[in-house]
Amino acid sequence: MPPLTTAFIQDNEAMVAEVTVRERMSDLVVVTDVTIEDVGSDGTALAKAAMLVERELMRRMGLPLQFGSSSKEFHKDKKMATETKMHHLPAPHPKYWGQRYKLFSKFDSGVQMDDEGWYSVTPEAIANHHASRCACALACDLFAGAGGDIIALAKTCGRVLAIDNNHDRVGMAVHNAKVYGVSERIDFICGDSVALLHSIKPDVLYMSPPWGGMEYNKSGKEYSLGDINVAGINGFELLQRCIALTPHVALFLPRNTSVEELAAFAEEAGIPCEIEHNWVPSEKGSIRLKAITVYFGRLAQPALGR
The Cα 137–Cα 283 span in angstroms is: 37
DSSP state of 187: E
Whole-angstrom CA distances from 249 to 32, 163, 199, 217 are 50, 15, 17, 24
Nearer to ligand MGP, 84 or 99 (CB): 99
Phi, psi of 148 (to 5 degrees): -55, -45
Chain residues 92-111 in contact with ligand MGP, contact rule CB under 6 A: 95
- Tell me the closest approach of the beta carbon of residue 119 to ligand MGP, in angstroms: 5
Strands (E), 142-243: 159-164, 186-190, 204-207, 229-230, 233-234
- C-alpha–C-alpha distance, residues 28 and 4, integer Å: 13
**Among the residue ranges 76-84, 121-129, 150-158, 196-204, the one whose residues contact ligand MGP (CB under 6 A):** 121-129
Cβ-count burial 103-121 (b if 16+ within 10 Å, e if not): bbeebbebbbbbebbbbbb
Chain positions 279 to 298 lying near ligand MGP, rule: CB under 6 A, are 290-291
Q: Find, among 85, 95, 81, the residue nearest to 22 by Cα.
A: 81
Nearer to ligand MGP, 109 or 282 (CB): 282
Least separation in angstroms between residue 156's CB and ligand MGP is 19
Return the amino acid letter for 135: A
**Considering beta carbons, is residue 74 or 223 the nearer one to ligand MGP?**
223
If binding means CB under 6 A, how many residues of this protein chain bind ligand MGP?
A: 16
Find the binder of ligand MGP among 97, 119, 236, 279 (CB under 6 A): 119
Q: How far is the CB of 115 from ligand MGP (least distance, A)?
A: 11
Distance in Å, CB of 286 to ligand MGP, minimum: 13
Task: Kindly indicate which of the ranges 62-70, 75-83, 113-121, 235-243 contains the residues binding ligand MGP, using the contact rule CB under 6 A.
Answer: 113-121
**Helix or strand or coil: residue 156?**
helix
Rounded CA gap, 162 and 133, in Å?
18
What is the rounded CA–CA span in Å between residue 18 and residue 295?
A: 54
Q: Does 193 bind ligand MGP (CB under 6 A)?
A: no
Name 34's bridge partners: 19, 80
Tell me: does residue 216 bind ligand MGP (CB under 6 A).
yes
Least distance from ligand MGP to the Cβ atom of residue 215, Å: 8
User: Given the complex with ligand MGP, which of 202 and 209 has the nearer CB atom?
Assistant: 209
The b-or-e profile of 30-66 (16+ CB within 10 A means b, else e) is: bebebebeebeeeeeebeebbebbbebbbeebebbee
Binding residues for ligand MGP restricted to 240-269, rule: CB under 6 A:
252
Please give the residue whose beta carbon sits closest to ligand MGP in the complex.
211
Least CB distance from residue 252 to ligand MGP, whole Å? 6
| Window of 14-22, 23-31, 63-71, 212-220 that interacts with ligand MGP by CB under 6 A | 212-220
Smallest distance from ligand MGP to CB 225, Å:
13
Alpha carbon distance 86, 72 (integer Å): 15
Nearest CB to ligand MGP, comparing residues 68 and 209: 209
Contact residues: ligand MGP, CB under 6 A: 95, 119-123, 208-211, 213-214, 216, 252, 290-291
